[in-house]
Amino acid sequence: MINVAIMGYGTIGSGVARVLDENAPVISARVGDDIRVKKILDRRDFPEDPHADCFVKDINDILDDDEIQIVVETMGGVEPAHTFVKDCLMRGKHVTTSNKALVAKHGPELLAIAKEKNVNFLFEASVGGGIPIIRTITSAVTADVVEAVMGILNGTTNYILTKIEQEGSEFSDVLKEAQELGYAEANPTDDVEGYDACRKIAILTSLNCGRNVDFEKIYTEGITKVTPEDMEYAKAMGRTIKLLAVSRKVEEGTYAMVAPYMLGEEHPLYSVHGVFNAVFIHGNMLDDAMLYGRGAGSLPTASAVCGDIVDIARNLDKNSGVFYSDEEMELLDFEGIRNKFFVRVRGDVNDAANITSPFGKCEVVTCKSLEGEFGFMTEEMREDDFAAAFEKLEGAVSRYRLGN
């Protein structure tokens, strides 16, 4: 019997208990032993829950229980999750977490402790919900130089953008729906301002480079300024708007950023709708590959956590080697990154040549339902050159980066 403790019995923690219960026969067969939930740490009581007699309120009840070998952290937030996870690892317990805030901030420290104590610290569910992107990077595409990782890594914002695109819904109504469905973070600002996707691309880039990427240094824009009118322009160009998290190796180094992009129909991420996430990777030998699945929600995320539990249960006596160091991975300055842009501007389309001239050779776009304004697509420009020209543009309404 392998004993598990769950810290945090919210959307994901309760999903973990359900996956372990309902899939017990297959899990036992794959591990070669039974896995049971022995203790659950939560401030609340759950008298009707099938695991009602497992609840404890003091972390020491888990730390001091030598029968508990694997601890699941699904509390969210940085503290006290960080202290609890660290204490569990120090006591020689394996840990799996769904907590991207924790991994983005303290990943290298926790990985180093796990290595020293010869236990595992795994975090598949911290990026892409149920999609096995971390295992793909750490165990599958290991003979390649992964030159690009690009993804829709936040289900809440993709859900909102899809509703705006398909139903012309209001931003605030759709956000409420996403919260009710259990997709959004406790503080949904993390979703809509792009911070959640930023932490996730920081984790993927760190794993890919073997060194820690400081998520606070990644240029990040959210979707709060996306309007139905911007979406109209996107549609007029055969495009849609998606919040992308991008990390790319170029000649000079590696850059990472999070921002809403206008993507064309031929882009592999164009058709990723609703709460679904997708991560596109390009390896120098592999070429292109993409993973697609539910990026949020109780059971898909719990499925990824339980995949980690199975992995750990099969490797109880060794560290599996998932690691990146605390040495900082220096990213390229955002200002020098090159992108093509779409710009929406109030003005006379007959004067477009004059208005667009600071942006190089541009293609004008009009949207029948929107009068007294027009849009244009720029050629590839440095971010700082574009920003300087956009700042001086009279009547500027909005701007987006263009994906291919």
Q: Which of 296, 312, 389, 397 binds ligand HSE (CB under 6 A)?
A: 296
296 vs 365 by CB, closer to ligand HSE: 296
| Three-state DSSP state, 48 | coil
> Is the CA virtual torsion 294, 299, 301, 306 positive or negative?
negative
8 vs 129 by CB, closer to ligand HSE: 129
Position 308 contacts ligand HSE (CB under 6 A) = no
Position 132 contacts ligand HSE (CB under 6 A) = no
Distance in Å, CB of 133 to ligand HSE, minimum: 12
List of residues 6+ apart from 358 with CB closer than 8 A: 389, 392, 393
Task: Give me the helix-helix angle, 11-22 and 24-31, nearest 10°.
Answer: 70
Query: Does the annotation count 217 as an active-site position?
Result: no
Position 194 contacts ligand HSE (CB under 6 A) = no
Neighbours of 311 (CB within 10 A): 19
Q: Which of 8, 130, 132, 155 binds ligand HSE (CB under 6 A)?
A: 155
Contact 55, 42 (CB under 8 A): yes
With CB under 6 A, what is the number of residues at the site for ligand HSE? Answer: 11
| Three-state DSSP state, 266 | coil
28 vs 179 by CB, closer to ligand HSE: 179
Distance in Å, CB of 277 to ligand HSE, minimum: 7
Distance in Å, CB of 203 to ligand HSE, minimum: 11
The β-bridge partners of 251 are: none
Which run of H or of E encompasses 210?
Answer: none
Select from 27-35, 151-159, 166-174, 339-347 the region that touches ligand HSE (CB under 6 A): 151-159
Position 101 contacts ligand HSE (CB under 6 A) = no
108 vs 295 by CB, closer to ligand HSE: 295
Q: Which of 8, 107, 129, 151 binds ligand HSE (CB under 6 A)?
A: 129
Name which of 9, 2, 1 is nearest 54 in CA terms: 9
Name which of 63, 57, 61 is nearest 89 in CA terms: 63
Q: Which of 193, 196, 230, 383 binds ligand HSE (CB under 6 A)?
A: 196
Position 184 contacts ligand HSE (CB under 6 A) = yes
Active-site entry in 200, 242, 249, 340: 200
Read off the DSSP letter of residue 136.
I
List of residues 6+ apart from 359 with CB closer than 8 A: 341, 343, 376, 378, 379, 381, 386, 389
Position 89 contacts ligand HSE (CB under 6 A) = no
Select from 31-39, 148-156, 257-265, 335-343 the region that touches ligand HSE (CB under 6 A): 148-156
Position 183 contacts ligand HSE (CB under 6 A) = yes
Position 156 contacts ligand HSE (CB under 6 A) = yes
Distance in Å, CB of 180 to ligand HSE, minimum: 13
Rounded CA separation 54/44 (Å): 12
108 vs 293 by CB, closer to ligand HSE: 293
| Three-state DSSP state, 89 | helix
Distance in Å, CB of 222 to ligand HSE, minimum: 12
183 vs 374 by CB, closer to ligand HSE: 183
Position 295 contacts ligand HSE (CB under 6 A) = yes
Contact 149, 201 (CB under 8 A): yes
Name which of 110, 42, 38 is nearest 71 in CA terms: 38
The β-bridge partners of 364 are: 376
CB-based burial, 25-44: b 16+ in 10 Å, e otherwise: eebbeebeeebebbbbbbee
155 vs 347 by CB, closer to ligand HSE: 155
Preceding omega of 25 cis (within 30 degrees of 0): no
Which residues of this chain interact with ligand HSE, rule CB under 6 A?
Answer: 129, 154-156, 183-185, 191, 196, 295-296
Active site residues: 200
